[in-house]
A and B are shown apart, each in its own frame.
Chain A
Amino acid sequence: MSELEMLTLEEVAYCREKASALTHNIGKIIRGKEPEILKVLTCLVAGGHILLEDLPGLGKTSMAKSLAFSIEGHHTAEKHQNDSHVTFKRIQFTPDLLPMDLIGTYIFDDRNKDFIFKPGPLFGNIILADEINRASPKVQSALLECMAENQITIGERTYPLDEFFFVIATQNPIEFEGTYPLPAAQLDRFFMKFSFGYVSEAKEIEIYTDYISINKIPQTVSPVIGYEDILLMRRSAEKVFVHPEIIRSVSNIARATRDDAAIRLGVSTRGGIIFLRCLRAYALLQGRGYAIEDDLKTLAAPILNHRMIYKNQEETISVLDRIVHREVERLANLRLQQ
């Protein structure tokens, strides 16, 4: 730990400013969902991907779109659109979708008499993979491979993806017919899985009042943060300090899930590492150079729940809650050392 470079106060303040600008900007579209926005951003900053399991019409696409529109794009050769923001691609997964529809394909160039590579939608910054469980396992694994490796290999050539590559996958929790549920090993690739859920009554009325501006995302949302800022935040997040006791708590939680009689499959060590990465990112987004017990409590469920298999599906929440609560209480009652 000590070998790591420490965050300066200026860095923290800068990140915090950018993060709140981003949250505020997205918040114009996604109303009353600040905690969820923050979790999405946490995944983004931690360098992971996210799986939203939610009913249709609760703002998943808007989320992804407004996020993309809030980040100013960088001007590289790979730029595909003329807009000022980072590229945003949406792929609607269907059973007949093929991997090449995602990653791209070679097409014959009549002029050059050669095959040229036509990149698929994955060559972008923010990818919304809608209803991921409707596609065949083949397509799913193609996507997941890209997510894991951050590159695409077709034939002999390997095309690197953008450094800023963020997948927001969704799946519909109610209609399971004709779907291919993601296996546990693949779910593990997503840093978080959670639902947006419905908003409160007041917020819903607010949305109905303002739906015109909400629907016009390009007009409502303008970039507030640069492509470079995201990379900067990612680097800063790695320098966030995590107290040894909190690390111990993460370990305790992971171990407890493995020992608990109600859980068949516990959290893996990779799960624990992801948990720590998210803790750091989350702390940074809140303008802190250190993680606290509340971060642990907020993040535990979205990060860990989909990595475990319960014996009895009914009590999924209570078991993890109990474990996390025990650790949070341990930390809260911990006497300050020094």
Chain B
Amino acid sequence: MKKIDLSLVLANALFKLVPTILIGAYLWHLYAATITTLDTNYWANVLVFSAGLLISFFLYSFNVRFSVTFLLLAAVLWGIYQLIGSTTIGEFDSFYYSLSFFIYAAIFVFAWVAGYGFARFGFFPWVAAAAVFLLAVSFIVRDILSVEAQMNSALVSWAANGLFAKPDLVQRLFVLLFLLFVPALFYSFYIISISEALRRLASVDSRSFRRLFKRSALIAAVLLLILISPLVYVYFFGLPESFYDRLQQAQASSASFLKKTYDQQTRKPQFDLQEYAQLLPEVKLSDETVFCTYIDNFFPLKDGGKAPLPVHFRRYVLNRYEPRGEKFVLDPYPPSSIPDDLFSPSIKDVPVGFAVSDSVIEAATRRYQQRKNIFSIVYNQALAPDAYVAPNTGYSYQKLPVPPQDRETFTTVYQCSSLISIWNLPPFVYSSSNPELLDFKNYRAEALRIDHSYEGLDSTFLAYYTEADTTDTLIMNLSRQLTDGLESPYDKVQSIVDYFLGNDESGNPRFTYTLEPGSPKTSGQSFMHYFLFENKRGYCTYFAGATTLLLRAAGIPCRMAVGYAIFDRSNKNSGWYWVYADQGHAWVEVYFPSYGWVDFDTTPTQDSEPMRPPKPDATPPEYAREPVFAVLGKLTGVSADSTALLVNPYSIRYRSKEYEIPETESRVLTLIPQDALVTIENEKVKIGELSLEKTMVLSAYSFHYSLEQLKPYNEKTPFMSWAAENFPKKIPVDEAMVVYKDDAAEKGLIFAVDGQIQSLLPDSSGLTILPRKIFYRGKDYEMDPRRTGPINIKPEEAVIYEKGKKKSLKEFTVGDSMQVSAESGNPALHQIKPFLAVESFATWFKNRFPEIIPVDRVTLQVQETPLTQRFFRGALIIIGTALLALLLFAAAVYLYLSLRIDYAKGNQKLYWIYRFSLMVLNQLGFHRVIKTPLEYAHESIDPRFGTRLGQFVNIYHKAKYAPAGMGLSADESRFVETFPARFRKQVLGSYSRREVLASFANFIRTLRFLFVK
């Protein structure tokens, strides 16, 4: 029995187990955080793991028999597990306890086995290192493979957002490599080197302890340095601009659907909503002001007064539910037959005074009954510049000048028109005691109840909006339970609404509103089920989501809408509303064939945690009016005294009507801006300082009375000639802005398109493609394939490039979903007037661009294997090759040594035979360790195999140490000649072929043989 040195055991525990616990805890942290199903108590897990590891390690360091103790432990744990599983405590089923006990027991047993390994097996650190390494690699691969799965680990997402600029896969890969690979690599390196160092010690004194400690501290310091280096970099070189934003963004992104970004220049926050909504255990909302609005929607009262009726402002509709991740998403490509009624213009570039609208949405909505057109004005304070919010269903957008005294507060003002269903009622109506409102409510119920038939509805539409997970029996049952026996869709909807807003048997509200609903207790349980059947507490996404699922289960077409809930808090300023970031909201839209989409809100508000923030409404800003005159045109020159701008108008908006000026009729207008200032790129510049070298497009608007006093345009003569006669010679304008500056060189790239090939042109000179994305004059435009038809492109030569090679279009055959990209710098395209956002890009494009667009070059996009796949494949190949190389490693060394024996001359041969024999024996598990070769041969090998290694070593020693004159005798030479073959036969022959193969696959032995001296 070996004498056990306590100091050595303690040193082993300190230097091997503590780092193992640390890396284990770290990996477990990432693992438990990335998958929510393992949401058990993290620290308890770590504690149990450490306890198992340490107890087992100490126990097995002292010659305790493993099999007996382990079986005993397993039996005890199993017994307790069975015991817990079969008892019931009061009403509670102890299933939950037995399950969590099982998890803890599993962790404990795992740690126990690991501790046993550390205590007994010298090679175990290699195993641990490999395991940690593989675990880290598998994390990386798994994460890369499910990129869409949101990374919930705060650490990883913080680093991803904050420290690395490229917001794509490569960046994520870097983060993961950084946060997972580096520590795993260090651990592997550390545990192997420290265990080899410890293995050589017979006992540990203070000196060797210090040396070991120094080594560990050094490795820890290097690791820390690598992990901290980005922070050090930031400290010394500052945070790059874009990093700062990402950092802010990452911190604010905890709200489930609120998206907070920062303006590049002003650093002011900008709010938008995510195009998805998710069920989270907790959300934090900001209380900053987002926008202020005036809604022209009132309920006429009999006494002549009117009650303001605020309506929800919609940003997105989330029409698809992803059961995996329990996420509601905006489906970017729904079936083409589903009409799109979400108006999302690129509003950033619309010139002040001008309007864009969508006639398709407008026409489609006007089809429904009981719609009324309302307008609302949005004073944007912190909305993202591209975010268009409007009451359902908005179809137009007009940018208005910000009233001068409010320019500090508001960035833009726009007016939008919406066709709202008169059945859209604000939540307060439900609890209102106003008899007229109650009457209206009943009237509404009657009207909606009659509209009960979904027959004749497009089947794709119905199927798309009633798609439900029929395997989810809990929700299907609840839906059936709530809607059974009810005839009309409205009654079913109302029943579900009442379920959420009503009281239970004891008279308490059934559901309550909270921002911190928490997570399900049982790991892996659905958040939705937890909300519906256990917790009954949640925020708006829970209510809207649950309602959507229940309605769809009942076969009623519906979808979730996200936007802002509007609350009336003002007694004085009727119709004015202030909207704060925490008013971000989700509700449900239900489809009625006659009335279209009608809003229903199932989030309770009468709770102790009210949705309505206790904020007063501010004084309303000055009412933004539409300018009487607005012009958009090419700047042709400046007057001699630098006070006036000469503009060749493309488009004029006068008295709420827009006139497009044909080029032939265009005449120069002279505009006199206030103080002779022009706004260019957000800065005011004196007219005299304007450089006129580049083509510039100017937009200007005017409220001037001289223009208002004119007699109306009679529409008989062309507008431009009428204007030339009637408008003042010098038109005073309130503000002039440069909206477009031609930065592209005359012959540079001006147009590019990505899309899918539909067909060849009949004469094979070009292609018909369905554009997905168009680049034009320095900007990218996403094209909705449902809205824009195919376009024709014609390359200069009738060829297409594929992987850099030319291919004639005549020989080209169109395959399935072939993606191409084309680019053009054709002068003909330079002649086209720039796009100025007075209409949608798609319309403008259709009208302005030639039937067949000349392009320089068409490139076939070779279907690239996605990076994830390539990475995975590459990793697989590398790992496979590495594994194969390791498995064949011993064989290679064996072969090498055999060859050296064959080719060695004289005494060198003895050396190689010696190495060869030792290698073979080492591979079979006979390590020389502290014995000299001779002792090893005499004591271990020859008695075991009946070989004559001892004799050989004697001869080898003679060759090695004897004086040069003393050569080998003839007998000895003969012995050496036949020794290797005989030795190999005797040693390998005593094992079965399978055993030999297994031993030779053990590359750790080979590594140790080669590198550990």
Contacts and interface: CB of A to CB of B under 8 A. Distances in A.
B960 A336 contact: yes
Contacts of A338: 906-908, 959, 964
Contacts of B934: 292-294
Of A292, A297, A329, most buried by chain B (CB within 10 Å of CB) is: A292
A290 B961 contact: yes
Contacts of A334: 960
A297 B932 contact: yes
Of B928, B956, B959, B962, most buried by chain A (CB within 10 Å of CB) is: B962
B912 to A, nearest CB: 9
Contacts of A318: 202-203
B44 interface: no
B1013 A333 contact: yes
B966 interface: yes
A245 B957 CA distance: 13
A294 B966 contact: no
B961 A6 contact: no
B451 interface: no
Interface in A319-336: 322, 325, 328-329, 332-336
A293 B933 CA distance: 9
A335 B906 CA distance: 14
Interface string B900-917: 000000111011000000
A246 B961 contact: yes
Nearest to A338: B907
A73 interface: no
B71 interface: no
B810 interface: no
A241 B962 contact: yes
B932 A336 contact: no
> Interface size class for chain A?
20 to 34
B933 A332 contact: yes
Contacts of A167: none
A297 B908 CA distance: 25
Contacts of B240: none
A291 B932 CA distance: 14
A261 interface: yes
Of A241, A245, A336, A338, most buried by chain B (CB within 10 Å of CB) is: A336
A329 B966 CA distance: 25
Nearest to B918: A332
A291 B933 contact: no
A333 to B, nearest CB: 6
Nearest to B965: A6
B907 A292 contact: no
A6 B966 CA distance: 10
A48 interface: no
Contacts of B906: 338
Interface residues of B, number: 27
Contacts of A272: none
B203 A332 contact: no
Contacts of B933: 293, 332
Interface string B941-968: 0000000000000001111111111100
A225 B963 CA distance: 29
B117 to A, nearest CB: 27
Contacts of B957: 290, 292-293
A289 interface: yes
Nearest to B936: A332
A6 B964 CA distance: 11
Contacts of A325: 930
B995 interface: no
Nearest to A333: B1013
Contacts of B908: 336, 338
Nearest to A261: B207
A243 B961 CA distance: 5
Contact of B907 (A288, A332, A336): A336
Given A332-B933, A338-B906, A338-B907, A292 B961 contact: yes
B960 A243 contact: yes
A336 B911 contact: yes
A329 B928 CA distance: 10
Contacts of B911: 335-336
B907 A293 contact: no
Interface in B878-921: 906-908, 910-911
A322 B965 CA distance: 34
Contact of A289 (B202, B935, B962): B962
A70 B202 CA distance: 42
Contacts of B1013: 329, 333
Interface in A294-338: 294, 297, 315, 318, 322, 325, 328-329, 332-336, 338
Nearest to B915: A335
B935 A291 contact: no
Given A6-B965, A338-B906, A293 B958 contact: no
B962 A290 contact: yes
Of B907, B933, B959, B965, most buried by chain A (CB within 10 Å of CB) is: B933
A328 B960 CA distance: 14
A6 B207 contact: no
B932 A328 contact: yes
Interface in A247-262: 261
Interface in B195-241: 202-203, 205, 207
Interface string B962-976: 111110000000000
Of B207, B960, B965, most buried by chain A (CB within 10 Å of CB) is: B960
B963 A241 contact: yes
Contacts of A292: 934, 957, 960-961
Nearest to A321: B202
B571 to A, nearest CB: 89
Nearest to B930: A325
B653 to A, nearest CB: 93
A336 B202 contact: no
Given A336-B911, A336-B960, A294 B932 contact: yes
A33 to B, nearest CB: 18
Contacts of A289: 962-963, 966
A250 to B, nearest CB: 13
A102 to B, nearest CB: 42
Of B907, B958, B961, B963, most buried by chain A (CB within 10 Å of CB) is: B961
A260 B932 CA distance: 23
B903 to A, nearest CB: 15
A315 B958 CA distance: 35
Nearest to A328: B932
Given A261-B207, A289-B966, A318-B202, A332 B959 contact: no
Contacts of B910: 336
Contacts of A288: 958, 962
Interface in B964-992: 964-966
Interface string A208-251: 00000000000000000000000000000000010101100000
Contacts of A261: 207
B991 to A, nearest CB: 26
A289 B959 CA distance: 12
29 contacts: A6-B963, A6-B965, A241-B962, A241-B963, A243-B960, A243-B961, A288-B958, A289-B963, A290-B958, A290-B962, A290-B963, A290-B966, A292-B957, A292-B961, A293-B933, A293-B961, A294-B934, A297-B932, A315-B203, A325-B930, A329-B1013, A332-B933, A334-B960, A335-B911, A336-B907, A336-B908, A336-B959, A336-B960, A338-B908
Return the 9 tightest CB-CB contacts between A and B, nearest first: A290-B962, A336-B911, A243-B961, A241-B963, A292-B957, A290-B961, A294-B934, A338-B907, A294-B932
Given A261-B207, A336-B910, A336-B960, 17 more contacts: A6-B966, A241-B966, A288-B958, A289-B962, A290-B963, A291-B961, A292-B934, A292-B957, A293-B932, A293-B961, A315-B205, A332-B932, A333-B1013, A334-B960, A336-B907, A336-B911, A336-B956
Interface of B: 202-203, 205, 207, 906-908, 910-911, 928, 930, 932-935, 956-966, 1013
Interface of A: 6, 241, 243, 245-246, 261, 288-294, 297, 315, 318, 322, 325, 328-329, 332-336, 338
